[in-house]
A and B are shown apart, each in its own frame.
Chain A
Amino acid sequence: MIRFDEVTKVYRGNARPALNAVDLEILAGEFVFLVGASGSGKSSFLRLVLKEERPSSGAIHVLGQDLGRISSRKVPYFRRNLGVVFQDFRLLPNKTVFDNVAFSLQVIGKSKGFIHEAVPDALATVGLDGKGGRYPHELSGGEQQRVAIARAVVNKPSILLADEPTGNLDPTTSDGIMTLLQRINANGTTVIMATHDVGIVDRLQRRVVELVNGRIIRDERGGSYTQAVPLVQQQSFGSAEATR
């Protein structure tokens, strides 16, 4: 589904690689946590999958396609197979919830009929039925993130990329979002989620890929946020999280 072969990403004006010789394979239907300190390369990884950036070296295959060989004209069509969610929701403030979700279908040329079927469906999936007429500023953070998730999955993507989707939410709300992501995953969508949230990673016991300075130092199925570390170190992660 997703394969990284010796992928290195060096940004211009930054000698230290954001990703360094990353080798990774993610299979269809997996739920993968991408963990690591700030600046370890998690977002860079997701941007490479989305072909928002090109690798400095190495090859990336997503959904059977070699990203190095997709012409820039074809990139939009490739992206229609992927859904993306961010920490900051990225909703359009002047559009209603319904229109925010519908927008992503309109701009890829879906018919009105399709949109009026698919959008309420997606809103129901994320638990927002009845709130289609609201504007983003009339919603709580958790609800806004649900709208963003609805927008990401309304076109039934095979892969959902989530970059710290719970980063701005309190623990209870985060749990709701995680339940939703797991449900989406259970329906067959591969989910890759970058996160700093120790509690979530530890509780879900899913595959964990840990990055340090752009290198994969751990790839563990059914893992925790940190592996067999003393309690002290775990606390220091927690407090670092709190100060962010």
Chain B
Amino acid sequence: MRLGLVLSEVGQGLRRNLSMVVSVVLVTFISLTFVGTAILLQSQITQMKTYWYDRAQVAVYLCTEYTTAGSCDQQAATDDQIAVVEAQLESETLAPFIDAYYFEDQEQAYANFQDQFEGNAIAALVTPDLLPEAFWVNLIDPEQSQILTDALAGLAGVESVVDQRSYLDQIFAILNSASLTAVGIAALMLVAAALLIATTIRLSAFSRRRELGIMRLVGASNRFIQTPFVLEGVVAAIIGSVLAGGAVVAIVHFFVQGYLTQTLPGTSFVTVDDALLVVPVLLLAGGLLAAVASNVAISRYLRV
């Protein structure tokens, strides 16, 4: 009886206020889509970090005839110098930190370079003698590249010691700011959504002020008066949240899995399963936001 009454009030409220309800749905839809995207972007970054950081190596570049950097003086590293570097890698001081290492000569470097820049004009300009020989080192703990730098950077015949993670950090900084931007937009949109929900509920209450006046007069409890309005806001917001959840799943399914994964094979991306985990978060956020906003909006009609 009471439940039926409350639900029919909610239905009436939604219908009477249709254009406002539609705008609430749209604004929560867009704002929560941003929230969902931000969450997924964060988890993408975390995922890529673990993936790439694990694979990141430290390169010990050796001098070529053309380099002047480091201890090089346009003199290619000699076999003796290379042997000294290798001995260092095998030494008791460094060996405990090293998982594995291998030597890459100029021909191999050239082959890798051609692979990496296939189709790029630069590939035609490069010759093997321009590319440095290098030791590629996998550390047991990738955080400790400084030890290698300290031990090897000063050696004769070593041009530089480069931790690949420094490149990754730049990429992640860019991704991170993209994700922060999404969070910022999401926050602004959520504020707009909350205000819009409050306005909608206030309008709805205004259009029913006769009923509200009589309810208060005959002693309807605050909760009874409040509930239809709060539900009205929550229903509208939940519809928006469902749409946002659908959008997030669709983005992951069609764009990330459908496009990015094809374009960049070998990189692991967020999956539809990850997106499905975000959906309940969005529903909860939308519902909670609407409940709080409508409660605040309606409470002024309950003051005695």
**Which A residues form the contact surface with B (CB < 8 A)?**
50-52, 72-73, 75-80, 82, 84, 90, 92, 103-104, 106-109, 111-112, 151, 155
Contact A80 B219 (CB under 8 A): yes
Contact A104 B218 (CB under 8 A): yes
Cα–Cα distance between A151 and B217 once the two chains are bound (Å): 11
Q: List, sorted by A's number, 18 A–B pairs whose CB atoms are closer than 8 Å.
A: A72-B222, A75-B304, A76-B216, A76-B219, A77-B221, A78-B219, A79-B219, A80-B219, A90-B217, A103-B214, A104-B218, A106-B1, A106-B2, A107-B215, A107-B218, A107-B224, A107-B225, A151-B218
Chain A residue numbers with a CB within 8 Å of B221 are 76-77, 108-109
Chain B residue numbers with a CB within 8 Å of A73 are 222
Contact B210 A79 (CB under 8 A): no
Q: Is B118 an interface residue (CB 8 A)?
A: no
Chain B residue numbers with a CB within 8 Å of A90 are 210, 213-214, 217
Q: Is B220 an interface residue (CB 8 A)?
A: yes
Interface string of B188-222 (1 = CB under 8 A from A): 00000000000000000000001101111111111
Contact A109 B2 (CB under 8 A): yes
Additional A-B contact list (16), CB under 8 Å, known A77-B221, A151-B218: A50-B217, A52-B304, A76-B221, A78-B219, A79-B217, A79-B219, A80-B219, A90-B213, A92-B210, A92-B211, A92-B214, A103-B211, A107-B215, A107-B225, A108-B220, A111-B1
Cα–Cα distance between A50 and B5 once the two chains are bound (Å): 26
**Which B residues form the contact surface with A (CB < 8 A)?**
1-2, 5, 210-211, 213-222, 224-225, 302-304
Instruction: State the total of A-B contacts with C-beta under 8 angstroms.
Output: 58
Nearest CB in chain B: distance from A44 CB, A? 15
Cα–Cα distance between A24 and B140 once the two chains are bound (Å): 90
Contact A77 B213 (CB under 8 A): no
Nearest CB in chain B: distance from A58 CB, A? 18
Q: Which 10 A-B pairs have the closest CB atoms?
A: A79-B219, A107-B220, A80-B219, A104-B218, A76-B219, A76-B221, A107-B215, A75-B304, A72-B304, A112-B1
Nearest CB in chain A: distance from B185 CB, A? 40
Contact A108 B213 (CB under 8 A): no
Q: Which of the residues A72, A103, A106, A108 comes within 8 Å of B219, measured between beta carbons?
A: A108
Contact A76 B214 (CB under 8 A): no
Chain A residue numbers with a CB within 8 Å of B216 are 76, 79
Q: Which of the residues B5, B222, B303 comes within 8 Å of A106, measured between beta carbons?
A: B5
Cα–Cα distance between A76 and B213 once the two chains are bound (Å): 12
Chain B residue numbers with a CB within 8 Å of A151 are 218
Q: Contacts A72-B304, A90-B213, A92-B210 hold; do A109 and B218 have CB atoms under 8 A apart?
A: no
